[in-house]
Structure 1
Amino acid sequence: MLELEDVLAARDRVAETSRHTPLDYSHTFTRMTGAEVHMKLETFQRTGSFKIRGATNRIMTLSEAEKDAGVVTASAGNHAQGVALAATRSGVDSKIVMPKHAPISKVRATENYGAEAVLHGEDYDEAAEHAHEIEEIEGRTYVHAFDDEKVMAGQGTIGLEIMDDLPEVETVVVPIGGGGLISGIATAVKGRNPDVRVVGVQADGASSVADSLQKGSVQTLDSVDTIADGIATRSVGQQTFDVIDSRVDEVVTVSDSEIAVALAYLLERGKTLVEGAGATSLAAILEGAFDYEDGEVVVPVLSGGNIDMNLLTTVIVRGLVETGRYVKLKTVLKDRPGSLRTLLDVIADAQANIYAIQHDRTSRDIGMNATEVELDLETRGPEHVEALLDSLRENGFDVEVLV
């Protein structure tokens, strides 16, 4: 099993390529949660994700024959960029298989770092199958995204940095996809101080670990469905499972809505761009997915910031909806002068702001003398939304909340 000595050796290998990322105390999230929150900002890492650490450690431990043959891997995006950069810096040819629906920003970044990107499969697992076929045909070395001791050791250098920068840490919260990140961090943290708690977080739509721990063996999901594409794997690895089972204290899950809220708060209050997978650790703290004491020193690992811009727009809106900052309404008015003005007066009196309005007389769902109106509104929170709805209904409007 991976040991602290492996992580310490990896630190020397990755020092030139990876960055010692900031550990940032957050007044905002400390006030919101009651814990003392210090965010480990792997969003500032080279390639925008922690993955460069493990990829570099693995590439640097290849034999000369393996380097000459080149490498291949599968990735949803972040591991792809890490392997691409690490391989290019070492003069090694790399081929990366990515799911067909991988964010275009991550595909382009992978190619820009010098790798050949191959799009194949619906998710990481199907991409990995194809990558292994390439491994057999072309004789390349497969660089696993997580189930590899050298990769795990590289990711564990994050744990060493946390312990060096904040020795008083009490709990470290880590996203879990395939398990490489939390395996490395748990090994480093527990190796330095066994009393520090390590909590893993998965997305509800990709939560294989709890079932695996309960049954004592790796369990594989039929499919995954989450906005956190960086941790959208059907199962953890066998090696990572063994470390998680031995060294991780607790594993919890968060919903996509909770992830979206955390991401929106990070943007608005923390001025930090984080991808869905990276926001899961903070989401678990904000939602109280695990118990912690007032004043407990907690470090959420924000594992990456490579989010697709189209997805970012969707997630921001979802976060605003969940926090009562945005609402979309539909109602039907009589098709006569002044009806729309009356509706808008009620909204104005309630101090809601209109983003957009759609006025449709042609809908088949309404009468010939009626018109359907949809409104996108900016609001100030859940209480404001409820007060607005009450006011509309008191004034005779039959309102449907669309989002």
Structure 2
Amino acid sequence: MSQSAIVLGAGMVGVSVALHLRRRGHDVVLVDRRGPGEGASFGNGGLIQREAVYPHPFPRALAELRRIARNRAVDVAYHPLALPGFVSPLLRYWWHSEPGRYLQAVQAYARLITTCIDEHLALAAGTEAMALLRPTGWMRLYSRPQMLEDALAQAEQARRDYGVNFAALDGKALAAAEPHLLVERTGAIHWTDPLAVSDPHALTLAYAGLFTRDGGSIAVGDAMTLERAGKGWRVRTAEGAVEAGEVVIALGAASAEVTRRFGYAPPLFGKRGYHMHYRLRGNAVLNHPVLDTESGFLLAPMRAGIRLTTGAEFARTGAAPTPVQLERAEPVARGLLPLADRVDAEPWMGVRPCTPDMLPIIGRLPGQPGAWCAFGHAHQGLTLGPTTGRLLAEMMSGAVPGISPEPYRPERFQG
């Protein structure tokens, strides 16, 4: 029992935890009600974001808050009736976004982000996964000179403080790099470190394949059946009950539904997001993922076509999809690129698991020996999956962690 583990959740984080545990000798069963990578890991911008050392803070400028309150934006939308349920976590989010506290979050967040490229390449090297990782970086486009100037100043600070690399492009250089853009922009920041993933679902499947080839098992099961079994844990699967000495909860936005049953109720909240794929007209191409700052959405070249991803939507758990942001974004996107037909029959929707202090929850489940947490990665589950997997596997194996787990400890949300 002491070297066996159940990992609940087969997204990028759960798969990575399972793979790292297996490579440290644990007997691991990965359990999900769906196949690997079919949750939030299926739909995202497909970026392993080495530059993302600054997590998304709660906006504090009145003009920005008024813009969001109108509920007409592409990057943020909300269901009015859902807002009461978000008051408490959003107030805490606002509190943690105060500049001094935010700087502490950045420093802790950057320690995880710094290793993300190396951790992905360590898993992918010599496997089919390498073909999915493109070293193109991505570009953020600006139409206003002052906004570009301010962004470049922050980029310079990120380079000084955290070793992030970028190139500044003027309008002419941007047009040369992306000749099929339909608009002129003042310039862009080309973040050169990130890897662009041509199929995020396929990457999660590739890592899951490494896990099973290393001797791990995958089962279909319901995490809500988790219960104590002596000194260990039991969960029911389609093939019967599975027992193990330890359990890892890596269920993304649904994690708190399970931990709450065992006395731990972190203020986790979900941000919903959507995507749609499009063909390009004629011989047009998009060489890099691009985010147009004015418009607030990402366009990324994928195997399935050009993926248009939306920002954040706040809605009640289980509410029907309302892809209004996608409807707002599509005509703007057609003005940026020569998009042709939609590829997908329906928009995809997923939920990003967020915490008020912008840091993931990684470590022992308080008050429950043998239970561990690995969730709350917000927009960076794809980026931080392998990093989290290594960190948690080191902790569970009694090794000295390569990164201090202190800032991410679950106990910070108790009391």
Give the strand-richer structure, 1 or 2.
2
Give the helix-richer structure, 1 or 2.
1
Please state which band the TM-score falls in when normalised by the shorter chain.
Answer: under 0.3
Computing the radius of gyration from Cα coordinates, the structure with the larger value is: 1
The structure showing larger relative contact order (alpha-carbon pairs under 8 Å, at least 6 residues apart) is: 2
